[in-house]
Structure 1
Amino acid sequence: MKALLLAGGLGTRLRPLTEQLPKPMALVGNRPWIEHLIVQLRDQGIRKFVLALKHYPELIRRHLGDGSRYGVTIDYVIEQEALGTAGAIKNAEPLLDERFLVFNADIVQHIDVKPLLRFHQESGATVTIGLMEVEEPSAFGVVELSDRGEIRRFVEKPKPGETTSKRVNAGIYVMNKEALAYIPPGREVSIERETFPSLIEQGAGLYGFPLQGYWLDIGTRERYRKVHWDLLDRKLKLMIHGQEQNKGIWVGKDVRIGDGALLIPPVILGDGVRIGDKAIIGPYTVIGEGCHIAARARLSETILWDGCIVKEGAQLYQCVFGYDSEIEAGHILYEAYAQRMKEEVSV
């Protein structure tokens, strides 16, 4: 079975980190999230992928290539203009099989898809939506199911008392190719507002299936950090590159740690990291490959992408810095976000 990964999102709420980067390429534990997703699905037996791209497609294509280094095959389809979720699926139609999986590739998840596939086949559904249960459904579109799992209706951002359901669309679908007949070609089409209601109206077999596992949209700064803290706490069980030298401290290759430096778990240090004398790193800190942290620097609850330089005595608390950022000596920063320190810092 093929999996179609929808990877064309702008990631506007994660800017400036995603200013010139597709949102699925945002790092999670020092690896682009989309790489984690492909590896995770490969390990569940899915070896053929189609990636639907729009913004900066060359960055994803250059990183993933034809998929051979992951033991999979990857084909690409590029939107020339914004087509929406359903429009992006329709645009990929020539590359899809009679039955296929769809994933919103900017949602971090760790889910076993086999029960979803089994339900889809046994129910005779045309489309099955994977559902996750959330504590506070008012920010989502809630799904109401019949006893057989058929979707009765969607309730967008429900008010108290409007529905008892807490199940929301997880952005994971199993689709039969016949469902694409309900999507008009060549224009922007919302799957939630147009395609799914049309399937319900036509009685075309739209079902929902509750999923089990980890699921979180990384669309905000707060949730982006939460994904990392969940990774460090092992609530999100993605592979962490590097060796766990002490409990909660993962260290990559060719890492050098200076005299008197202190690592307070949980911490991840990528390949080639340099930690200066008497620096204090952690807790809840992820340092990307090739980063240099100078003497007496202090980092806590902070995420650095590859190639960052933190100069002597700088202090970072609850910060996220993108590739090759530079933090000057003695700077004290709280909740700062930037792609580079040469650019404007968003606080």
Structure 2
Amino acid sequence: MKALILAAGAGTRLRPLTDTCPKPMAPIAGQPLLAWTLEWLRRYGVTEAALNLHHLPDVVRAGLGDGSRFGIRLRYAVEEELRGTAGALHNFPGFFDQTFLVIYGDLLLDIDLDDLIRFHRQQGAIMTLALKRTDTPHSQGMIDIDTTGRVKRFIEKPAVWDGGDTANAGVYVCEPEIVSWTPPGFSDFGHDIIPALLHAGVPVYGRPLRGYLLDIGTPAAYEQAQQEWRARQEARGERGKRQEVSEARGEGQEARGERGKR
């Protein structure tokens, strides 16, 4: 599978850190944010990723290289003028020739991609959005869905919102047809493409995410990310140690067998 990682943002709210480091390369628990993203994508079978760059692009390229250490082949495009979240697709002609992912580059995440992709295919969607809950609708892309998950309404950062607390999480599963819905020049998924798809009756769906996701775009969120992610890694390490001990004792095999009987 392929992915587009949106990594062109300047991250002005994280200054002075982002004066010398692009927001997607901000260090989190010992390595850049995008390194965690690539490790997560590889676990779900992503083998190629495209990144649009703008602010300090050489820092990103130097930090990630060709992607070989992550097991993902990377390609880059530097935008002298920003093209928007959807316009970024046109940086990579011919690349999006199969079902692909779009990931916002300022997200620290460990969500179940298999669940999202499976739902997308079951529904026959052209685009499926991972959904989260929020109590700040004025700063989010807000969504209403029906009982099947089909998106009925989408408003980007509404001044007034009379719907529920469901918001766009910034992770999409898309079919290649999405590229043809994206005009040349600047275009944005939230302001332009998703509303156009809904107006045309194209099947767009939303699926509540399973797992962890945090936008690190403010100083408070960045500090939260440091604390929570380090705790998650420590907990994961402890689980791994317990697994190794149980398998050394012959307990792991039995545990797997018991699960298989259920």
State the TM-score, normalized to the length of structure 2. Answer: 0.84
Gaps of 5+ in 1: 244-347
Shift of 1:77: 2.0
State the alpha-carbon separation in 1 of the partners of residues 33 and 232 from structure 2.
16
Q: Secondary structure at the match of 1:110?
A: strand
* More strand, by proportion: 1
Is 1:169 the counterpart of 2:182 in the alignment? no
Query: Equivalent residue for 1:118?
Result: 118
Shift of 1:134: 2.7
Alignment of 1:103-182 (within 5 A): 103-157=103-157, 162-163=162-163, 165-182=164-181
Two-structure CA RMSD over aligned residues (Å): 2.3
State the alpha-carbon separation in 2 of the partners of residues 160 and 3 from structure 1.
33
State the alpha-carbon separation in 2 of the partners of residues 238 and 105 from structure 1.
23
Asked whether the equivalents of residues 2 and 47 of structure 1 are also in contact (C-alpha less than 8 Å), the reply is yes
State the alpha-carbon separation in 2 of the partners of residues 237 and 180 from structure 1.
40
The structure 1 segments of at least 4 consecutive aligned residues displaced by more than 4 Å after TM superposition are: 156-161, 235-240
Aligned letter for 1:178? E
Is 1:189 the counterpart of 2:187 in the alignment? yes
Q: Secondary structure at the match of 2:196?
A: helix
Asked whether the equivalents of residues 214 and 236 of structure 1 are also in contact (C-alpha less than 8 Å), the reply is no
State the alpha-carbon separation in 1 of the partners of residues 138 and 146 from structure 2.
21
Shift of 1:160: 7.9
Match of 2:199 among 177, 198, 201: 201
Asked whether the equivalents of residues 154 and 194 of structure 2 are also in contact (C-alpha less than 8 Å), the reply is no
State the TM-score, normalized to the length of structure 1. Answer: 0.64
Is 1:72 the counterpart of 2:105 in the alignment? no
Provide closer, same or farther for how the CA distance between residues 170 and 87 of structure 1 changes in structure 2, counting only shifts above 3 A: same
Shift of 1:239: 7.5
Asked whether the equivalents of residues 11 and 18 of structure 1 are also in contact (C-alpha less than 8 Å), the reply is yes
* More helix, by proportion: 2
Aligned letter for 1:170? A
Query: Equivalent residue for 2:53?
Result: 53
Aligned letter for 1:169? N
State the alpha-carbon separation in 2 of the partners of residues 232 and 205 from structure 1.
39
Q: Name the count of aligned residue pairs.
A: 239
Asked whether the equivalents of residues 110 and 237 of structure 1 are also in contact (C-alpha less than 8 Å), the reply is no
Percent identical among aligned pairs is: 38
Query: Equivalent residue for 2:232?
Result: 234
Give per-residue Cα distances to partners, 1:251-282, cap 9 Å, x unaligned. xxxxxxxxxxxxxxxxxxxxxxxxxxxxxxxx
Which range moved further: 106-115 or 153-162?
A: 153-162
Shift of 1:89: 2.1
State the alpha-carbon separation in 1 of the partners of residues 188 and 213 from structure 2.
22
Shift of 1:136: 4.4
Provide closer, same or farther for how the CA distance between residues 212 and 15 of structure 1 changes in structure 2, counting only shifts above 3 A: same
Q: Secondary structure at the match of 2:19?
A: coil
Name the structure, 1 or 2, with higher relative contact order (CA <8 Å, separation 6+): 2
Give per-residue Cα distances to partners, 1:200-241, cap 9 Å, x unaligned. 01111111111111111111101100111112332897879x
Query: Equivalent residue for 2:82?
Result: 82
Q: Secondary structure at the match of 1:233?
A: helix
